[in-house]
Amino acid sequence: MKARRGNRSPLTALLILTIVNLLVLLFLKYFLNGLLLTEFRIDYIGNILDVAVTILFLIGLGMFFYKKRTADNKKVSLLLSFQILIIISYVLIVFVEKANFINLSGYLFGFPIKKVYVGFLFISGELLQLYSLIYVWSVSFGAENLIGVRAIVRTAALVILLLVFALSFVWNVRAFSEKKIEGNTFDYGCVPGAAVWSHGKPSPIFEGRIRKTLDLYRKEKIKKIILTGGHAPGEISESEAAFNYLVNLEVPKEIITLETQSSTTTDQIKFLRTSFFDAQKEKPILVISDGFHLSRIIQISKFFKVNTVGVASDHSLSVGKTLFYRAREGVALLLFWFFAI
């Protein structure tokens, strides 16, 4: 019993750090997006996942400390170290986002470098938490041999399972058929930006979104058009490329609004929230994009409490590109669920 009593202090520290890490993660998800914690929703998938990981880890800790054979100071120290590293990663995120003395301008892999750093820190912290979860359950119910290696393999399996769960949402493109909005009209139709080629020409995927928007406008399904999407240095913005395309097809300039600063889908939904969506009136905004993209857009909209309805463009992709884009969206959706990035 002395061994167990000696472990009470580390257990208390682990419990406190784990709960603090969850609260800090939830705070960052809302704070970094300009939201108040009063807008927190426990029924949102991403928040459920965050809370579930913490609860499962705490349950595992209970079994870890009340099984005599698992009361090991080295294992306890390892778990404590992981929780400390997680909180450090969250502190670094605040510095990256809010400290101006760190120069993080520019792009990396086509993404703003600041967002890449923030994403890396969030992912690192979550991987440590998932590994801790698997590790503590593995020690409680598994063999001691190669427990660290086994926990790594099982953590990888858990990540794959989570990705499959996200892909199940991305794959449901039939929900965004134009038939779903028959008989409805919308004040606004929003076109999220996509790649722009040389000389300001929209890529085929982007052109498909624009032409679908034009078709819906001519059918009087939408009254006004919102074009979103920024640009890399020295290039025309995505929204400006779409604007030029529509104006050349005789769409009146006065019904089009441009947003030229956003670099991610999340930024674009935040723009809709602040500039166009009135929660009191609850009039939905129609978003026109690709089917594989709309599942994530709807999930982001739910997080920001923006009422959006999606309609897929008519652009078709090869099997290879379909698999690539859906897999990419699945990863992006999972990252948004966990971290709201």
181-229 residue pLDDT tens: 988 999 999 999 988 888 888 999 999 999 999 999 999 999 999 999 9
pLDDT on residue 116 = 84
Matching residue, tokens 């913490």: 54
pLDDT on residue 176 = 93
The predicted-structure confidence for 239-272, as pLDDT tens digits, reads as follows 999 999 999 998 999 999 999 888 889 999 999 9
Total H helices, total E strands in the chain: 11, 7
2 confidence band (pLDDT: 50, 70, 90): very low
pLDDT on residue 50 = 97
Give the torsion through C-alpha atoms of 275, 339, 20, 164, to 10 deg: 140
- CA–CA distance, 118 with 289 (Å, rounded to integer): 26
On the CB side of 101, CA atoms within 13 Å amount to 1
**What's the whole-number mean pLDDT along residues 120-129?**
96
- Secondary structure of residue 229 in the 3-state scheme: coil
Domains belonging to the chain, first-starting first, are 2-170 (no CATH), 175-317 (3.40.50.620)
- CA Rg value for the chain: 23
pLDDT on residue 70 = 47
Question: pTM score, two decimals?
Answer: 0.89
Give the torsion through C-alpha atoms of 241, 243, 247, 253, to 10 deg: -160
142 versus 104: which is more confidently predicted? 142
pLDDT on residue 95 = 86
DSSP β-ladder status, 186-191 and 285-289: parallel
Q: Is 253 exposed, middle or buried (0-12, 13-18, 19+ CB in 10 A)?
A: exposed
Mean pLDDT score of the chain: 88
Confidence check: pLDDT of 103 > 70: no
C-beta neighbour count of 279 within 10 angstroms:
10
pLDDT on residue 1 = 40
72 versus 82: which is more confidently predicted? 82
Which H or E element spans position 61? helix 45-65
Confidence check: pLDDT of 232 > 70: no
